[in-house]
Structure 1
């Protein structure tokens, strides 16, 4: 099964990482893959262009089927291999709803983190404003409090959508992992950092850990002033 799969990916990309976690959780090791460097614009290669009109990674192919959006690819794997590996979407409709809610809320957390952590990357030097960066930090702190509240309500030792590891964790953990890497103060999101410590050694996450993070465990300190 996995031998018929091909994944084009980049190290440290949350969308790529979540798909790799899903592959591990569904016991689909052995898939073909190609690591592409963002800095060298390798993701814009002809192989990716032929499969993905947006020229983005992850680009994922299973047999003749192409699924490029990371959420869609993760949900495809759960549906296609429902009885294999970990069950990532619960049967109960109410539990499903919470999993889906946390999954899609991840987009908010990711974008607000990017607005601070990569501010100098996105905004040209002549257009940068300290007041804008301050607003971005305040917005991110508010978002972190929201996620901390979710975990607080569910109780110590909970995953993002309850007592079981689900697709919500697959999707969101790669975003949460940026906070300790980029030196976010633990007091800004203590529950999320407890969650991070609990989940980071899960086999599927360790097996898919970004290679360049292993080589350089310390990232930039762009979140230290939250």
Structure 2
């Protein structure tokens, strides 16, 4: 079933990791895949461009069906293999609504984190201002408090959208995993860090930990001064 699937991916990329987690949760092991290096610009190769004109990863092909953008791939897998593996989107519309909300809110958390962690990368040296970085940090701290509040309201041992592991967790965990990786002070988001500890050993996650994270467990200290 999975033998006619092909995934092009990059190590440590949250969008790629969430697709891999979704494949595992849907019991689609055995798919073909190719690990490409961002540093060497391998993702811009003609093989990828033929499927994804944006030359971005992940790039995914299932038979004759090409699906790009990680959210789209994850939702496609759930729809195509709804009765297989972990049920990631509940039937109840109210429960669905919360799953979808947390999924798409992940973009807010990711962007605010990137605005701080990779400020020097995104902003040219002559345009950098300490006041702008300070504002970015304040925005990120506020966002973390929001997510901590979500988990506090759900109760101890809860997932992002309730008592069951859902697509919200598939999509968001790879972003949350960046916070300890980048040395975010755990007191900034204690509930999120409890959630991280709860999920990091889940089989679909642990078995697919980014290869270069395993080689270099320490990571960078981009968020240590948050």
Interval containing the TM-score (normalised by the shorter chain): over 0.9
The whole-number CA distance in structure 2 between the counterparts of 1:56 and 1:121 is 19
Following TM superposition, where does structure 1 have runs of at least 4 consecutive aligned residues deviating by more than 3 angstroms? none
Residue 51 of structure 1 aligns to a residue whose secondary structure is coil
Q: Say yes or no: does 1:73 pair with 2:73.
A: yes
1:139: Cα distance to partner?
A: 0.3
Alignment match, 1:104? 104
Structure 2 segments unaligned to the other structure (5+ residues): none
1:126: Cα distance to partner?
A: 2.1
User: Any residues of structure 2 matched to 1:130-209 within 5 Å, and which?
Assistant: 130-209=130-209
Alignment match, 1:53? 53
Residue 56 of structure 1 aligns to a residue whose secondary structure is coil
The whole-number CA distance in structure 1 between the counterparts of 2:128 and 2:11 is 28
Alignment match, 1:22? 22
Alignment match, 1:116? 116
1:124: Cα distance to partner?
A: 1.7
CA displacement, residues 7-38 of structure 1 (integer Å, 9 cap, x when unaligned): 00000111000000000000111111111111
Structure 1 segments unaligned to the other structure (5+ residues): none
Alignment match, 1:220? 220
User: Aligned pairs, how many?
Assistant: 226
1:225: Cα distance to partner?
A: 1.0
The whole-number CA distance in structure 2 between the counterparts of 1:64 and 1:166 is 27
CA displacement, residues 133-157 of structure 1 (integer Å, 9 cap, x when unaligned): 1111100000000000000000000
The whole-number CA distance in structure 2 between the counterparts of 1:126 and 1:8 is 36
TM-score (normalizing by structure 1):
0.99
